[in-house]
Structure 1
């Protein structure tokens, strides 16, 4: 996605309460609000909750194998930077259960396994991995995840930790091994909350620059059931969940998960559905993540991304420690939470040595030789230079704008109608709001934001900013005047606002006609169907329950195989999500409100269709 630039409109940051409906001229979703003589129309925090956040974290592959050779003081500092309240305060950490590294040509990417030649276990192996897993547990990281790139080499078809398949006759051995590793750490006081039994299963990694194992679609359900049964056999109840299938692309996830997860006896073992976003997905592919997940009653997690740059979120070789790449990372987080409705975001590797140049002289500058795969960097040649310094990037601070404040249990609310170049996410948790705002614009931007859910008295508690010149710097708190709070976002910045809340004056309802971007016509419905018509046809209100109510009080919902109006009952089929990009998503099915055949004619039917990101699925309030 191209970086957004240009001078934005100037508007206020407004936080309102009360039960009155908004004026029909406001923006429900999609385009930026217009500025009028009476003042700008604010962006809206949806009254209906979208999803609950489980965790935000990063991976422990493969840098612990290097840092095992660093001084204990440096190891302790690295752990504090990741896990402490003064650091990122991560709520998840991914521990790499190694496959032994047989055949892997990059030394730090060859983690030891625990399986000895005689079939016994050597728990003294993987010193670096164990060190930082223990640190994560000691700091109280909420979710510890054990993930596998490759099974031990003796169980793969090519006898290597890269490029082979897991032998079918060894699936139960592998499952038992994973369960034994999990049980061992639990006995040591380190509980692995989740296991991911295979990572990027369609990547062969046959170049052997790292560990990797092919797992064909037909084998994934077999492995999941075997691992689930083995985990259950170690405890009275299965204390460790399973996440899968860690597809490298959202397209692969959307296509392949339904094939293996639908196999008998499989879904009960899967706790979360995991995807990566290396395909630089568009809004349609991201929204389909939600559709696939809802089909099986699971929540999706975004569990790996890195290595984008040069002004976009697509795969690129570059080392960029500046705010430019940090804003791209924050855009990816925003998209995962606001469009895919993921409940977790995991950065790939927390530390990296791929600066591309000598970090002692070039760590602060961009170059085309390194990679944007780390949050923190260290010297690849530490063994000869003796350099054990840690080098920070703006990505580190960008992730912290979320991870330090958006904690497990926070409830995400979609924000619609933000001005061009600005991305806003809002989270309700324990009587306070956390709002994270990305300003991609090259000029300062004023943001108006109206809260429509649980809008009791609001009081600014904290404001923190990362920009080209700031790292988690205290920022000016918004100034409250009644129901209006004013604030200005500096250019090219990420700001987190924490707002305390007392009381609950009830929820306001968004109101207005819903206009289709492609047709220019508005949504209308009766008891048996929905269609597009002139925008005088009537208005809709959107409330705390997630219902879209017509003027007669009935709710938009599937009726007899089509969309129509029915008496509101509070059923899940009546709930909708308003995405910031203009998608109106049917919560129960994950499908989008869609104008049939991209037609623009009066009376064209409107129904539910897989989200594509098309303008025939984009709606604004008028």
Structure 2
């Protein structure tokens, strides 16, 4: 009897009319690190100008792990907050050649002196994240400070792979990142964002945001210099590379980005001239963005399996460090047009599921925590009525809208905490995805149901907490005691319960 009960603990099923869930807490995969989002671009405006009440509401939605009187979470409990370290295009105003002031960013370094009052709006939410107990913070650069670039701007030349940086300024650059990382006590710093894009001016001579490309050899050279500075300074901040613009650039050595691809082996294979795996300040993590690799489904899965194969070969962890919906995704869903509803939430949940289960990501981050755009790029939106966009109408105050995508991410981020291990889980229901996680005290199962409603009869003696995001629910709490678990149509539901000892 004792042997049978032990087996029952590690392989449990729920079933009703043929639907069945199985999971095995002793078959484990990656150790989870974090779920995050970034403070680009709207936070600079929202954090500086918006009423305190609205800023606090945004912070609660993003960071809180508290529940209301009914047991429903007040927020999605992010465990990583990404802070954009600006290059100084804001101070240049229109001379920055960046079209929108929303896409420019201030710099902490001006005329050789540090001004820690800069980026005030972003600092509000960085401090809020820390107050809510978010365990990890990461500072990332789109461009080096303008006084260190070749062209004196925070945008690239437009030439593929040409790093907009004056190499004679490398000591100033490493000192800058050391000072900023030390001041804000960043857990991590990511010096290069989407190195495969050129970030140059369009036909009008203007660009959309701060940014610069960089090739693998320059990235390795600069990272070695930075790691040396970090080691000399004895700071605890860790370096994360390379924030690849697409996941295929991590694994494919013969893509359309020569000298900027095959990045897993370029940076972490000992035989490579760009090897960085021996640097004590560099985290053994490869990071990349899930853009343009999520549709159709065979590409979604094969790309992520290829990433997983390579990280295993090179003893690495993988972070999916930025995603929102861009492009037309093989006709499945378009990036244009705000959607606060379940269609986008379900698509995003499918991507999260694939990144966690096929690529075995240990960290997963969304792009814009707050957006004013008529685009599927935000978790929270800020509009004045029908007036959408990064404009003066939304700059100083606007209404807040929480999206189903926010709460769908919360089905993962709120319950899958740092240190949990992913476990084997399966469901024999069509149109359903499932993944499982445990910390040896609690089991968390996340079900993504793109199909019709169904029920699971609870066959175990334990109480099960359920949290449902659907067309009319946002992480709504219900305790399944002596009945059934309802899985609504077009929903994401998290099941949480404790081990029996």
1:264 shift after superposition:
6.1
Q: Does structure 2 conserve the Cα–Cα contact (< 8 Å) formed by 1:433 and 1:499?
A: yes
Matches within 5 A, 1:582-601: none
Q: Corresponding residue for 1:530?
A: none
* Greater relative CO, 1 or 2 (CA 8 Å, sep 6+): 1
Q: Does structure 2 conserve the Cα–Cα contact (< 8 Å) formed by 1:42 and 1:449?
A: no
Q: CA RMSD in A?
A: 2.9
Q: Corresponding residue for 1:200?
A: 194
Larger radius of gyration: 1
Structure 1 window deviating more from structure 2 (393-402 vs 306-315): it is: 306-315
1:130 shift after superposition:
1.6
Structure 1 residues 248 and 449, CA gap change in structure 2 (3 angstroms): farther
Q: Corresponding residue for 2:499?
A: 501
Task: Indicate yes or no: 2:75 matched with 1:87.
Answer: yes
1:72 shift after superposition:
2.5
> What is the alpha-carbon distance in structure 1 between the residues aligned to residue 9 and residue 408 of structure 2?
36
1:228 shift after superposition:
1.5
Structure 1 residues 251 and 492, CA gap change in structure 2 (3 angstroms): same
Structure 1 residues 69 and 427, CA gap change in structure 2 (3 angstroms): same
Structure 1 residues 315 and 205, CA gap change in structure 2 (3 angstroms): farther
Q: Corresponding residue for 2:208?
A: 209
> What is the alpha-carbon distance in structure 1 between the residues aligned to residue 5 and residue 349 of structure 2?
29
> What is the alpha-carbon distance in structure 2 between the residues aligned to residue 326 and residue 53 of structure 1?
22
Structure 1 residues 478 and 309, CA gap change in structure 2 (3 angstroms): farther
After superposition, the C-alpha distances for 1:188-243 in whole angstroms (9 at most, x for unaligned) are xxx210110100001112132111111112211112212222222222xx411111
In the alignment, which of 106, 114, 124 is matched to residue 131 of structure 1? 124
1:468 shift after superposition:
0.7
Normalising by structure 2, report the TM-score. 0.82
1:476 shift after superposition:
5.4
1:292 shift after superposition:
2.1
Structure 1 residues 478 and 226, CA gap change in structure 2 (3 angstroms): farther
1:70 shift after superposition:
1.3
Structure 1 residues 382 and 206, CA gap change in structure 2 (3 angstroms): closer
> What is the alpha-carbon distance in structure 2 between the residues aligned to residue 226 and residue 449 of structure 1?
57
Q: Corresponding residue for 1:341?
A: 360
Normalising by structure 1, report the TM-score. 0.66
Structure 1 residues 374 and 491, CA gap change in structure 2 (3 angstroms): same
For this pair of structures, how many residues does the alignment match?
443
After superposition, the C-alpha distances for 1:460-500 in whole angstroms (9 at most, x for unaligned) are 241110111111222352647xxxxx534111111111111
Task: Indicate yes or no: 2:223 matched with 1:224.
Answer: yes
Q: Does structure 1 conserve the Cα–Cα contact (< 8 Å) formed by 2:424 and 2:436?
A: yes
Q: Does structure 1 conserve the Cα–Cα contact (< 8 Å) formed by 2:51 and 2:397?
A: no
Q: Corresponding residue for 1:171?
A: 170
Matches within 5 A, 1:371-390: 371-379=375-383, 380=389, 383-384=392-393, 387-390=397-400
> What is the alpha-carbon distance in structure 1 between the residues aligned to residue 361 and residue 30 of structure 2?
8
Q: Corresponding residue for 1:252?
A: 249
> What is the alpha-carbon distance in structure 2 between the residues aligned to residue 228 and residue 154 of structure 1?
22
- Structure 1 runs of 4+ aligned residues shifted over 6 Å read 20-23, 309-314
Task: Indicate yes or no: 2:150 matched with 1:150.
Answer: no
Q: Does structure 1 conserve the Cα–Cα contact (< 8 Å) formed by 2:242 and 2:287?
A: yes
Structure 1 residues 248 and 240, CA gap change in structure 2 (3 angstroms): same
Structure 1 residues 378 and 48, CA gap change in structure 2 (3 angstroms): same
1:383 shift after superposition:
3.9
Matches within 5 A, 1:81-480: 81-85=61-65, 86-101=74-89, 102-117=96-111, 119-164=112-157, 165=163, 166-185=165-184, 191-207=185-201, 208-235=207-234, 238-255=235-252, 256-257=262-263, 258-262=265-269, 263=273, 266-267=276-277, 268=279, 269-271=281-283, 272-281=285-294, 282=299, 283-308=301-326, 316-354=335-373, 370-379=374-383, 380=389, 383-384=392-393, 387-441=397-451, 443-446=452-455, 459-475=462-478, 477=480, 479=482
> What is the alpha-carbon distance in structure 2 between the residues aligned to residue 176 and residue 295 of structure 1?
34
> What is the alpha-carbon distance in structure 2 between the residues aligned to residue 194 and residue 53 of structure 1?
16
Structure 1 residues 423 and 396, CA gap change in structure 2 (3 angstroms): same
SS in 2 for 1:502: coil
Matches within 5 A, 1:527-606: none
